[in-house]
Amino acid sequence: MALAFDEYGRPFIIIKEQEQKSRVRGLEAQKANINAGKTVARILRTSLGPKGMDKMLQSPDGELTITNDGATILEQMDVDNQIAKLMVELSRSQDYEIGDGTTGVVVLAGALLEQAEKLLERGIHPIRVAEGYEMASRIAVDNLEHISQKFDFSASNMESLIQTCMTTLSSKIVNRCKRSLAEIAVKAVLAVADLERKDVNLDLIKIEGKVGGKLEDTELIHGILVDKDMSHPQMPKQIVDANIAILTCPFEPPKPKTKHKVDIDTVEKFQTLREQEQKYFDDMVQQCKDVGATLVICQWGFDDEANHLLLHRNLPAVRWVGGVELELIAIATGGRIVPRFQELTPEKLGKAGIVREKSFGTTKERMLYIEQCANSKAVTIFIRGGNKMVIEETKRSIHDALCVARNLIRNNSIVYGGGSSEISCSIAVEAAADRHPGVEQYAIRSFAEALENIPMALAENSGLPSIETITAVKSQQIKENNPHCGIDCNDIGTNDMKVQNVFETLIGKQQQILLATQVVKMILKIDDVISPSEY
Amino acid sequence: MSSMMQPQIILLKEGTDTSQGKAHVIGNINACTIVADTVRTTLGPRGMDKLIHDDKGNTTISNDGATIMKLLDIVHPAAKILVDIAKSQDSEVGDGTTTVVLFAGEFLKEAKPFIEDGVHPQNLIRSFRNASTLAIRKIKELSVSIEGKSLEEKKALLAKCASTTLSSKLIGGEKEFFASMVVDSVVAIGNDDRLNLIGIKKVPGGHMRDSFIVHGVAFKKSFSYAGFEQQPKMFQNPKVLLLNIELELKSEKENAEIRLSDPLQYQSIVDAEWNIIYDKLDKCVKSGAKIILSRLAIGDLGTQYFADRDIFCAGRVMEEDLKRVSAATGGTIQTTVNNIIEEVLGMCEVFEERQVGNERFNIFSGCLSGTTATIVLRGGADQFIEEAERSLHDAIMIVRRAMKNSSVVPGGGAIDMEISRYLRHHARTIAGKSQLFINSYAKALEVIPRQLCDNAGFDATDVLNKLRQKHASSDGANFGVDVNTGGIADSFANFVWEPSVVKINAINAATEAACLILSVDETVKNPKSESAEAASGGMGGRGGAAYRGRGGRGMRRR
ipTM: 0.75
Taking the CA of residue A288 and the nearest CA in chain B, the distance in Å comes to 19
* Same domain assignment for residues B138 and B221: no
Set of chain A residues whose Cβ sits within 8 Å of the Cβ of B355? 199, 201
pLDDT of amino acid B370:
62
Is residue B521 annotated as a catalytic residue, yes or no? no
pLDDT of amino acid B194:
67
* Same domain assignment for residues B303 and B440: no
CB contact under 8 A, A90 and B307: no
* Same domain assignment for residues B308 and B441: no
On whether the CB atoms of residues A330 and A215 are closer than 8 A, the answer is no
From the list A261, A337, A515, the residue facing B226 with the nearest CB is A337
Question: What pLDDT, in 10s, does the model give residues B176-196?
Answer: 888 888 888 888 777 666 667
Taking the CA of residue B539 and the nearest CA in chain A, the distance in Å comes to 10
Q: A168: closest CA among A113, A255, A98?
A: A98
**Pairs across A and B, CB distance < 8 A:** 255
pLDDT of amino acid B554:
39
Question: What pLDDT, in 10s, does the model give residues A151-204?
Answer: 777 767 778 888 888 888 887 877 778 888 888 888 888 888 877 777 777 777
What integer is the mean pLDDT of A361-365?
Answer: 70
Question: What pLDDT, in 10s, does the model give residues A309-334?
Answer: 888 888 888 888 887 888 888 888 88
The residue out of B318, B337, B369 marking a domain boundary is: B369
pLDDT mean across residues, chain B: 81
Residue B465: its H or E element: helix B460-472
CB contact under 8 A, A92 and B46: no
CB contact under 8 A, B75 and A19: no
From the list B45, B229, B251, the residue facing A257 with the nearest CB is B251
Range of the domain at B24: 17-145+410-519
One DSSP character per residue, B122-138 reads HHHHHHHHHHHHHHHHH
Q: What percent of chain B has pLDDT over 70?
A: 89
pLDDT of amino acid B257:
79
* Same domain assignment for residues B23 and B136: yes
In a domain, residue B386? The reply is: no
For the ranges B54-68, B99-113, B282-296, the lowest mean pLDDT is seen at: B54-68
Taking the CA of residue A232 and the nearest CA in chain B, the distance in Å comes to 26
pLDDT of amino acid B390:
86
Domains and CATH numbers, chain A: 24-150+415-534 (1.10.560.10), 155-222+378-411 (3.30.260.10), 223-375 (3.50.7.10)
Give the domain CATH number at B462. 1.10.560.10
Residue A534 has pLDDT above 70, yes or no: no
Q: A438: closest CA among B484, B412, B48, B488?
A: B484
In a domain, residue B557? The reply is: no
Residue A227 has pLDDT above 50, yes or no: yes
Q: Reduced to 3 states, what is the DSSP secondary structure of residue A364? A: coil
Taking the CA of residue A476 and the nearest CA in chain B, the distance in Å comes to 33
In a domain, residue B203? The reply is: no
Interface test with B, best of A1, A8, A12 (most B CBs within 10 A): A12
The residue out of B369, B388, B420 marking a domain boundary is: B369
pLDDT of amino acid B546:
37
pLDDT of amino acid B422:
92
* Same domain assignment for residues B345 and B250: yes
Q: Which residues are registered as beta bridge partners of B376?
A: B201, B212
d(CA A32, CA A81): 11
pLDDT of amino acid A209:
85
**Given B95, B394, B454, B490, which residue is catalytic?**
B394
- One-letter identity of residue B295: R
What integer is the mean pLDDT of A117-121?
Answer: 91
Taking the CA of residue B352 and the nearest CA in chain A, the distance in Å comes to 12
Q: What is the DSSP pairing of strand A219-221 with strand A379-385?
A: antiparallel
Residue B10 has pLDDT above 70, yes or no: no
Is residue B99 annotated as a catalytic residue, yes or no? no
pLDDT of amino acid B77:
82
d(CA B110, CA B133): 18
* Same domain assignment for residues B141 and B225: no
Any residues with CB less than 8 A from the CB of B445 and at least 6 apart, and which?
B103, B106, B135, B416, B417, B419, B420, B423
On whether the CB atoms of residues B87 and B66 are closer than 8 A, the answer is yes
Set of chain B residues whose Cβ sits within 8 Å of the Cβ of A515? 207, 380
CB contact under 8 A, A519 and B381: yes
Interface test with B, best of A141, A406, A411, A525 (most B CBs within 10 A): A525
Residue B532 has pLDDT above 50, yes or no: no
d(CA B369, CA A279): 56
CB contact under 8 A, A260 and B26: no
Question: What pLDDT, in 10s, does the model give residues B485-498?
Answer: 778 888 888 888 88
Set of chain A residues whose Cβ sits within 8 Å of the Cβ of B272? 256
What integer is the mean pLDDT of A104-108?
Answer: 91
Give the domain CATH number at B349. 3.50.7.10
**Given B33, B38, B42, B64, which residue is catalytic?**
B64
For the ranges A183-187, A518-522, B186-190, B517-521, the lowest mean pLDDT is seen at: B186-190
A2 lies within 8 A of chain B by CB: no
One DSSP character per residue, B390-432 reads HHHHHHHHHHHHHHHS-EEEETTTHHHHHHHHHHHHHHTT--S
CB contact under 8 A, B53 and A203: no
Enumerate residues 88 to 127 of chain A having a beta carbon within 8 A of any beta carbon in chain B: 89-90, 92-97, 125-127
Residue B555 has pLDDT above 70, yes or no: no
pLDDT of amino acid A12:
61
One DSSP character per residue, A432-492 reads HHHT--STHHHHHHHHHHHHTHHHHHHHHHTTS-HHHHHHHHHHHHHHHT-TTB---TT--
pLDDT of amino acid B108:
92
On whether the CB atoms of residues B199 and B372 are closer than 8 A, the answer is yes
Q: What percent of chain A has pLDDT over 90?
A: 8
From the list B74, B170, B229, the residue facing A327 with the nearest CB is B229
In a domain, residue B187? The reply is: no
Between B229 and A130, residue with greater pLDDT:
A130
Nearest CA in chain B to A515: B380
* Same domain assignment for residues B362 and B452: no
Set of chain A residues whose Cβ sits within 8 Å of the Cβ of B258? 256, 258-261
Q: A93: closest CA among B78, B190, B208?
A: B208
- Residue A278 — very low, low, confident or very high, per pLDDT cuts 50/70/90? confident
* Same domain assignment for residues B365 and B417: no
Residue B219 has pLDDT above 80, yes or no: yes
In a domain, residue B3? The reply is: no
Set of chain B residues whose Cβ sits within 8 Å of the Cβ of A127? 45-46, 48, 456
Taking the CA of residue B491 and the nearest CA in chain A, the distance in Å comes to 21
pLDDT of amino acid A140:
93
In a domain, residue B154? The reply is: no
Domain count of the fold of chain B: 2
Question: What pLDDT, in 10s, does the model give residues B24-66?
Answer: 888 888 888 888 888 888 887 888 888 888 777 778 888 888 8
- Residue A13 — very low, low, confident or very high, per pLDDT cuts 50/70/90? low
What integer is the mean pLDDT of A7-22?
Answer: 63
A131 lies within 8 A of chain B by CB: yes
- One-letter identity of residue B543: G
pLDDT of amino acid A109:
93
On whether the CB atoms of residues A418 and A458 are closer than 8 A, the answer is yes
On whether the CB atoms of residues A350 and A329 are closer than 8 A, the answer is yes
CB contact under 8 A, B257 and A330: no
In a domain, residue B320? The reply is: yes
Residue A170 CA, distance from chain mean position? 16
Set of chain B residues whose Cβ sits within 8 Å of the Cβ of A89? 204, 380-383
On whether the CB atoms of residues A307 and A231 are closer than 8 A, the answer is yes
pLDDT of amino acid A466:
86
Interface test with B, best of A127, A255, A347 (most B CBs within 10 A): A127
* Same domain assignment for residues B280 and B352: yes
Residue A252: its H or E element: none
Enumerate residues 415 to 444 of chain A having a beta carbon within 8 A of any beta carbon in chain B: 438
- Residue A111 — very low, low, confident or very high, per pLDDT cuts 50/70/90? very high
* Same domain assignment for residues B76 and B129: yes
Taking the CA of residue B74 and the nearest CA in chain A, the distance in Å comes to 4
Set of chain B residues whose Cβ sits within 8 Å of the Cβ of A126? 48
Report the 3 state secondary structure along B301-356.
HHHHHHHHCCCEEECCCCHHHHHHHHHHHCCCEECCCCCCCHHHCEEEEEEEEEEE
What integer is the mean pLDDT of A418-431?
Answer: 90
* Same domain assignment for residues B343 and B221: yes
Residue A248 has pLDDT above 50, yes or no: yes
Q: A396: closest CA among A41, A43, A54, A40?
A: A54
CB contact under 8 A, A262 and B263: yes
What integer is the mean pLDDT of A104-113?
Answer: 92
pLDDT of amino acid B80:
86
CB contact under 8 A, B259 and A248: no
Nearest CA in chain B to A92: B205
- Residue A526 — very low, low, confident or very high, per pLDDT cuts 50/70/90? confident
Report the 3 state secondary structure along B176-193.
HHHHHHHHHHHHHHCCCC
Residue A253 has pLDDT above 80, yes or no: no
Is residue B523 annotated as a catalytic residue, yes or no? no
The residue out of B312, B337, B369 marking a domain boundary is: B369
- Residue B547 — very low, low, confident or very high, per pLDDT cuts 50/70/90? very low
Q: Which residues are registered as beta bridge partners of A485?
A: A496
* Same domain assignment for residues B24 and B112: yes
CB contact under 8 A, A14 and B34: yes
Report the 3 state secondary structure along A55-124.
EEEECCCCCEEEECCHHHHHHHHCCCCHHHHHHHHHHHHHHHHCCCCHHHHHHHHHHHHHHHHHHHHCCC
In a domain, residue B535? The reply is: no
From the list A7, A262, A336, the residue facing B266 with the nearest CB is A262
d(CA B18, CA B22): 13
Active site residues of A: 69, 102-103, 400
pLDDT mean across residues, chain A: 83
Set of chain B residues whose Cβ sits within 8 Å of the Cβ of A6? 26-27, 30
Enumerate residues 266 to 325 of chain A having a beta carbon within 8 A of any beta carbon in chain B: 269, 272-273, 276, 299, 323-324
pLDDT of amino acid B102:
92
Question: What pLDDT, in 10s, does the model give residues A471-499?
Answer: 988 888 888 888 888 888 777 778 788 88
Residue A425: its H or E element: helix A420-434
What integer is the mean pLDDT of B442-470?
Answer: 89
Predicted TM-score (pTM) of the model is 0.81
